[in-house]
Structure formats: C-alpha cells, structure tokens
C-alpha cells in the first residue's frame, strides 16, 4: 500500500529533522488494537518503549489501558506518574538499578510494580519489598529467561518466590523472534510456543502454583496471539504486549491485519540539504534522527516510492532517484516513515504534536534516555 505525504499547515516553520506525532492517527491505532482484542483493554499490556511521551502514555490510560510494560526505570517512573495501575519492568534488573526500582515503587504505592526474575539469586533485591515478580521464560530468542524444558528449575523458583512471600505476578514470554518467521509458518510456530507455555502453566497449577497472568506477543506475534485462546481454559489472563502499534512503522504495517485501521502516527519531517549528483540528493535525517538498527533503507519517503534511501551517516541521509528523474530542490520537505519507530522516537528530545492537519504544540519525549547514572 502506497502512503501519501500528510498535509500539515505550518510545516514550513518546523526546524528539521523533527519528530511529528499525529494524535488522530494515535487514537485510530489504539482503537484498532482494542477492536482486535474484543474491546477488552485489560487484555493489552503495551510496551511503552515505543510511546515514550507522557502525553501518549496518558492517552492509553484514558482509553482504559491501566497496565503496561517497559524497559527502563525512566519509563517506569513516567508510567507511574501518568496513571498506570500496574507496570512491569520487563528487563533484567541488577544493583544499583534495583535500588531505583524500589524507590519508584515506594513513591507510588498505588501502582503494582513488577520485575523479571530467572533464578533465585534475582529475588534478593525484592525480599521485604512490595515489588512483584514475573518469571521470565526463554521463548526461543535465547536472550533472557528460563528454558521451557527445565520444568524442575521453574517449579523450584516459583516455590522460592512463595517462600519469600513475594507476589508471583505471572509468566513473561516475549516471542519477538516471530519477526523472522516466514509468513506461511508464523502462526503455526507462534502457537507451538504457546502450546508449550500452556502445558507449563497446567503443570505449575497441578503443583499448587497460581499463575494469574501470562504476557506474550510483541507486534510481530500479535496477530497470531489473537487467535490463541487456550489460556482461558486454565483461568489465566493472557495479555498481549505490542507497543509499535501505537505509532506504526514500515515493518509493522506489513505485519498487522489488513483492514484493521492501522496507519502511521509518528513520522520524521526532514529537508533536502544538498544535491551532490545528477541522481542523488541528501536529507538531514541520518541515523541520529531515523534509527538504522533495522537496516537499510532506514525509512521510506512518503509520496515518493521512487526515492531510495541509502546508508545514512550520523546527520546525512543520501537518497537516490531513478536516472533522468527530477531531483527535489534544496529546502524541500520530506516525510519519512521509519523502518523501526521505537528507537527513532528515542532519538528526539521533543515531538511536534498535530491534530486535524494543524500543529497543536510541542511535547517533550518524557522517557527518552535513562535516569542519571549517579545522584
């Protein structure tokens, strides 16, 4: 599907490169996700590494989504401030980061704060605290978590959590490697992982371990997770955790269900700054603006399917056009749809907020970066 460049009154006055967030599109994307979840906000635990802005996090809360997960203590603190009731820090925590988590949990006693653990030693910072724990499971990414076939070790950890009088909040099973599954195999492979997770939950229950929740499915696995309903048979809440869906990017728009109503909500506005050759120009959107972690091209130029972004440097984005095609003029505006929006949002200190085709103001990217490394 070819996407057109937006029409934004006053765009010429914006200093580029700039992150531009369309609140109308954000609302549509939240609505699309809720519809896919049967209009049950309690089934969505969005990953806030994408949303980043307190404004957008609060927008989710206002739509009834009171639980979330995040990756940094700054995201955790921001989520607590804007009104979430339940936040999972879905990243392994070590000291002295654990002290920051305890401090945040103490400052927001009404919020259920949880962390990930994958062995008994990781329980030490949370003993005597009100912080809950999710057991982190290795879905096949081989990044973090306990192996699913090590039932004895998982059961022993669950029993140690109980003995420590800590709150076992559930199981965390992030299957982000679904991003690499072939389209024809993806649902079968995602469901095969959930079948193993289902059997694990069933065995834990038979051994007296209550599992209130399982958290799965970032954006790549989300469409397939929607069609897996077995956890309800065990009385366990299955929450999905896509975050990219709030804004969307080149990749997610090819993965999400066609016709669901998703559209780009966060774009980078750029300008042509140089014309170095007869079929190449350069824009001010290098990898310090549009993240390059997803490879090249880092983005697409909306309204110009014939423009081909090449390898960026820090501040420069070379773009080729077909031989003989007309080059844009220096100073022309370009609307860029990132290949990976999550780290792209994290590149900016501020976002231009728009609605109804008009600029509404500027918002700080509240949870960009991290807390200071020392007091």
pLDDT at site 2: 73
Q: From first to last of the 375 residues of the chain, give the pLDDT tens digit.
A: 679 999 999 999 999 999 999 999 999 999 999 999 999 999 999 999 999 999 999 999 999 999 999 999 999 999 999 999 999 999 999 999 999 999 999 999 999 999 999 999 999 999 999 999 999 999 999 999 999 999 999 999 999 999 999 999 999 999 999 989 999 999 999 999 999 999 999 999 999 999 999 999 999 999 999 999 999 999 999 999 999 999 999 999 999 999 999 999 999 999 999 999 999 999 999 999 999 999 999 999 999 999 999 999 999 999 999 999 999 999 999 999 999 999 999 999 999 999 999 999 999 999 999 999 998
Per-residue model confidence (pLDDT) at position 29: 98
Residues 6+ away with beta carbon under 8 Å from 54: 78, 81, 82, 363, 364, 366, 367
pTM for the complete prediction? 0.97
C-alpha to C-alpha distance for 249 and 263, rounded to whole angstroms: 9
Give the span between the Cα atoms of 38 and 35, in whole angstroms: 5
Question: Which positions ≥6 away from 345 have C-beta within 8 Å?
Answer: 19, 50, 52, 53, 247, 266, 351, 365, 368
Closest CA to 171 of 217, 135, 118, 225: 135
- The top-level CATH class assigned to 11-17+261-364 is mainly beta
Neighbours of 315 (CB within 10 A): 15
pLDDT of residue 5: 93
Q: Class for domain 45-241, per CATH?
A: alpha beta
CA distance 68 to 240: 10
Give percent helix, percent strand, percent coil of the chain, each to the nearest 5: 30, 25, 45
What was the pLDDT predicted at 1? 64
Beta bridge partners of 138: 147
pLDDT in the model for residue 163: 97
List strand residue ranges (DSSP E) for 154-265, in order: 168-173, 213-216, 237-240
pLDDT for the residue numbered 240: 98
Boundaries of every domain in the chain:
11-17+261-364, 45-241
Instruction: Please state, in angstroms and rounded to a whole number, the distance separating the CA atoms of residues 176 and 70.
Output: 15
């Amino acid at each position: 599907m070819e996407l057109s460049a937006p029409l934004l009154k006053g765009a010429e006055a914006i200093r580029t490169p700039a992150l531009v967030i369309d609140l109308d599109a954000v609302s549509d994307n939240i609505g699309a996700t809720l519809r896919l979840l049967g209009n049950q906000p309690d089934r969505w635990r969005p990953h806030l590494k994408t949303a980043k802005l307190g404004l957008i996090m609060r927008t989710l809360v206002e739509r009834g989504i009171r639980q979330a997960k995040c990756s940094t203590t700054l995201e955790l603190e921001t989520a607590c401030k804007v009104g979430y009731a339940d936040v999972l820090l879905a990243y392994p925590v070590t000291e002295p980061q654990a002290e920051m988590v305890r401090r945040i949990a103490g400052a927001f006693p009404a919020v259920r704060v949880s962390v990930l653990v994958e062995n008994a030693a990781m329980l030490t910072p949370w003993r005597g605290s009100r912080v809950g724990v999710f057991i982190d499971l290795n879905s096949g990414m081989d990044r973090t978590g306990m192996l699913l076939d090590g039932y004895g070790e998982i059961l022993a950890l669950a029993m140690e959590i109980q003995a420590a009088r800590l709150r076992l909040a559930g199981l965390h099973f992030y299957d982000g490697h679904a991003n690499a599954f072939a389209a024809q195999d993806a649902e079968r492979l995602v469901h095969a992982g959930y079948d193993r997770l289902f059997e694990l939950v069933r065995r834990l229950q038979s051994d007296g371990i209550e599992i209130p929740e399982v958290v799965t499915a970032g954006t790549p696995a989300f469409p397939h997770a929607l069609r897996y309903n077995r956890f309800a048979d065990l009385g366990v809440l299955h929450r999905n955790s896509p975050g990219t869906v709030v804004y969307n990017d080149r990749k997610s728009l090819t993965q999400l269900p066609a016709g669901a109503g998703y559209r780009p909500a966060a774009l980078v506005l750029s300008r042509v700054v140089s014309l170095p050759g007869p079929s190449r120009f350069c824009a001010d959107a290098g990898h310090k603006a549009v993240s390059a972690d997803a490879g090249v091209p880092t983005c697409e130029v909306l309204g110009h399917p014939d423009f081909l972004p090449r390898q960026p440097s820090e501040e420069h984005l070379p773009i080729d056009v077909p031989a003989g095609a007309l080059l844009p003029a220096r100073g022309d505006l370009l609307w860029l749809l990132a290949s990976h929006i999550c780290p792209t949002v994290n590149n900016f200190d501020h976002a231009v907020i728009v609605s109804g085709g008009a600029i509404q103001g500027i918002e700080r990217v509240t949870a960009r970066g991290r807390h200071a490394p020392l007091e």
